[in-house]
Amino acid sequence: KNEVEQSPQNLTAQEGEFITINCSYSVGISALHWLQQHPGGGIVSLFMLSSGKKKHGRLIATINIQEKHSSLHITASHPRDSAVYICAVMEYGNKLVFGAGTILRVKS
C-alpha cells in the first residue's frame, strides 16, 4: 500500500463545476503539500498545510490530521485548471513522499 493515496486518478469536469480531489496518507507528517504540474513538467506549489484550511482564489485546501486526510477543492473550474494535481506529505527528515497525482481535464 502506498503511503500517499489520491483519488480520483482521472477527472473530467465541465467548466464551472466544483471539483474535489482527495488525499489519504498513512505516516506521521510535519506538513502536506498540494502541487500542480502542467504538461511541460514544471511544478507549482499551491498549498502547504499542517492544520485546518487555506484558500487562494478559487482553490481551497483542508486537512484533518486525526483522520490523515486532505482535500483540494476547485470552485468554478476553468479549462486553464487542467493539469496534474499532486498531494505530497513531508515526513520527518524533510522527505517528501508524493501521491500518484490526479489528472484533471476541464472542458469548456
Partner 1 sequence: EAGVTQSPTHLIKTRGQQATLRCSPISGHTSVYWYQQALGLGLQFLLWYDEGEERNRGNFPPRFSGRQFPNYSSELNVNALELEDSALYLCASSSGLAANTGELFFGEGSRLTVL
- The binding site for partner 1 (CB under 8 A) comprises 30-31, 33, 35, 40-45, 48, 50, 86, 88, 90, 92-101
User: Please, what is the minimum distance in Å from the beta carbon of residue 80 to partner 1?
Assistant: 19
User: Please, what is the minimum distance in Å from the beta carbon of residue 24 to partner 1?
Assistant: 16
Nearer to partner 1 by C-beta: 17 or 103?
A: 103
Owner of C-alpha cell 487555506: 54
User: Please, what is the minimum distance in Å from the beta carbon of residue 17 to partner 1?
Assistant: 26
18 backbone dihedrals φ, ψ, rounded to 5°: -90, 130
H or E element, residue 72: strand 69-74
Nearer to partner 1 by C-beta: 48 or 60?
A: 48
Strands 83-91 and 95-98 come out as antiparallel
Instruction: Provide the 10 A C-beta neighbour count for residue 33.
Output: 21
